[in-house]
Amino acid sequence: MAQHVLPHALKVPALEKLKGKRIVLASNSPRRKEILRTFGLAPDIVPSTFEENLDISQFSDPHEYPVATATHKAVEVYEKLVRDDPDNPPDLVIGADTVVLTHPQPVTSDTSYSLIPGINQELLEKPTSKEDNLRMLLDLNGQVCEVVTGLTVVYPVLTSPGYSIKSMDERSLVYFGDNHRHILEAYADSGEGIDRAGGFAIQGQAGMLIRKIEGDYNNVVGFPAASFFKFLDLLVEEDPDFLEV
């Protein structure tokens, strides 16, 4: 079995309990993989084939949307691995989904800003072209958006259906500066924002466009590691079946 907990990992309860376990990330995102490795976790990569086609309008709270998608991803991969090799089920499958929610009110000062969940928030999908990316950037310019990552873990238990599902979400605010159009056009032309939720990658050239963030930087990149490991520690403390089957 591959070594999933790396030598530099901190000796916290969850990571200690994950030693010797089969851990799977249901995502092919190099950013999520890199963030997890930074904190000492190197899971097997088994990308989900879930189409991510849930209708956000069916959710009364838009924050539930990425959690639902992450859950579908994690469950799909867990069930597939169990079908493929019933004698070697994974001990933990991690699913994640990151979305960007807009808000129409401009941010014109350095004061903090609080979003009212669900009020006038719209989902910014991945841009389909450079022109679509520029449209998104113009909409975000001088505005604040909310980055939400839904996280779900699936692990085996002895009761039906044979696994347990636990989920959480993490939220961060991203404040865009009042950028000149030529800067937004140059970023769209770079192609970096294609295939990124919201059309920007904060860890790349998009850092030039952003004035500040409130919350977890890693969450904006795509995986809120600090909250995730606290979440696992809580499961170790509260769920006697966690990683014991």
Point out the residues that are catalytic: 97
Rounded to 5 degrees, φ, ψ at 32 are: -65, -40
DSSP code for 177: P
Q: Which residues contact 182 (CB under 8 A, 6 or more apart)?
A: none
Nearest partner of 36 among 24, 54, 48, 21, judged by Cα: 24
Report how far apart the first and last C-alpha atoms of the chain are (Å, whole number): 17
- The Cα 133–Cα 125 span in angstroms is 10
- The Cα 181–Cα 102 span in angstroms is 19
Peptide bond into 7 cis (omega under 30): no
